[in-house]
Every structure is written in structure tokens, then in C-alpha cells.
């Protein structure tokens, strides 16, 4: 696999890029689904470092009926970080 051949700095850069894209995907879905997402919510999403949780939030953002319900999901998720 390429990960074994890439220097640590490159691996770190790739990981940061993947995280950044995952964060942006969550925010993009919220904005498409609900209009503008509250800035404090966007900041909390951008602070996340767990790719698995970001993937869960991405799916949730696409399916919840309201921002309030998404935020209720976001709060317990952040407590696990």
C-alpha cells in the first residue's frame, strides 16, 4: 500500500486534506439542506478530528428534518471526542 512508502509528512498532509474535505462535506450538506448553518455549529464541525464521526455526521446532515435535530446529534458526538 502507498501509505508504507510515503514519508510521515506526506501521510499527515493527506490525512489533514481528507479531514478538511469531510468537514466541508458536512457543512455543505447542512447549507444545501437548511440554508446557512449557524457559525458556532460550523466552527464545532471544523474542530473535529475524527473521520469516522465526520462520516456519521455527514449522513445525519442529509437525513435529519431540522437543524435542531442535527445539533442534538452533534452535542453527544462531540462529548465522545
pLDDT of residue 4: 60
pLDDT of residue 5: 60
Q: pLDDT for 29-71, tens place per residue?
A: 999 999 989 999 999 999 999 999 999 999 999 999 999 999 8
Residue 80, judged by CB atoms within 10 A of its CB (0-12, 13-18, 19+), counts as exposed
Please give the full DSSP string across 1-63, using - where no structure is assigned: -GGGTS-HHHHHHHHHHHHHHHHHHHHHHHHHHHSSPPHHHHHHHHT---HHHHHHHHHHHHH
Q: pTM of the predicted model, to two decimals?
A: 0.80
Amino acid at each position: 500500500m502507498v501509505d508504507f512508502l510515503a514519508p510521515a509528512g506526506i501521510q499527515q498532509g493527506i490525512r489533514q486534506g481528507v479531514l478538511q474535505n469531510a468537514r466541508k462535506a458536512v457543512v455543505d450538506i447542512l447549507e444545501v439542506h437548511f440554508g446557512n448553518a449557524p457559525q458556532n455549529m460550523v466552527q464545532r464541525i471544523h474542530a473535529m478530528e475524527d473521520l469516522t464521526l465526520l462520516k456519521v455526521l455527514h449522513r445525519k446532515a442529509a437525513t435529519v428534518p431540522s437543524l435542531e435535530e442535527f445539533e442534538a446529534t452533534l452535542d453527544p458526538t462531540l462529548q465522545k471526542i
